[in-house]
Amino acid sequence: MIVDYENIKFVQEGPVVTLTLSRPAALNALNSDTLIELGQAISSIGAEVHEGVRAVILTGEGKAFVAGADIAEMVGLTRTQAEYFSRRGQAVFAALEALPVPVIAAVNGFALGGGCELALACDFIYAGERAKFGQPEVNLGVIPGFGGTQRLTRLVGRAAASELIYSGRIIDAHEALRIGLVARVLPQDELLSAAMDTALEIAKKGPLAIAAAKILLMDGADIGLERACSMEATAFGATFATDDQTEGMLAFLQKRKPVFKGE
């Protein structure tokens, strides 16, 4: 299935949706129209989860993943307009993060500013060898506005996040791997196929279990360990009220592959 957008390519192949940011002449910079379309695409994926969507791949067309927010659009914003733009981007990224299926960022090139923040809103990042990451907003006299000060800190720790945000330094894929920003670095021509292989492997698993694990990973990181483990026990018990649990365990005992239905 292919859905037409102006700035995004939306392709569903079986259980996997691939979203490709497609403004290559602007290095896929995020303007208002692209944010609106991205929000619409995310909403449509959420509505289709029960129709068999099990994973999402997010990537960019050309030599950039997303080079940042559209500076030409932002330059004349007032204080109120800038805050609104920030909140709109944050809302779209939060909706992406909240999808009940894993989202893999396949970063093929520049992921700077808003592009790095978009990748951070995904569940994990695969980087091509030519990928570059950074939060260079201070070079423009502003700060990250789409969640970068918060998600980057939670992912790589305060020291590494502070160094990147304060300096505006751009790092390559291997340094991003070293600090824990990305999960894997891949040859450029293998990036999308590796992301697809992982997405298809995830699609074979129990979707209700994946959704529960995603919620725990997101919410548990910001609360105390004892409370988080209590949440885990509750969710673990809840999986035993599903048909997927019965199917998965019987399939294991019967030495066959399970057929999960998300029920």
Q: Are residues 138 and 19 in the same domain?
A: yes
Catalytic residue among 137, 201, 247, 263: 137
Q: Are residues 196 and 135 in the same domain?
A: yes
pLDDT of 50: 56
Q: Are residues 40 and 89 in the same domain?
A: yes
Catalytic residue among 117, 129, 175, 201: 117
Q: Are residues 86 and 112 in the same domain?
A: yes
Q: Are residues 199 and 211 in the same domain?
A: no
Strand partners, 44: none
Give the domain extent around 80.
2-203
Check: CB of residue 126 under 8 Å from CB of residue 183.
yes
What residues of the chain score a pLDDT lower than 50? none
217: CATH? 1.10.12.10
Whole-prediction pTM = 0.94
Q: How many of the other CB atoms lie within 10 Å of CB of 78?
A: 8
Instruction: For residue 12, give Cα distances in angstroms to 48, 111, 184, 187.
Output: 11, 24, 24, 24
pLDDT of 221: 84
Number of domains in the chain: 2
Distance CA 46, CA 103 (A): 12
pLDDT of 1: 64
Distance CA 180, CA 156 (A): 6
Active site residue 129: no
Q: Tokens 């993060």 appear where?
A: 97
Buried b or exposed e, range 189-216, using 16+ CB within 10 angstroms:
eebbebbbebbeebbebbbbbbbbbbeb
Q: Tokens 């291997």 appear where?
A: 174
Active site residue 117: yes
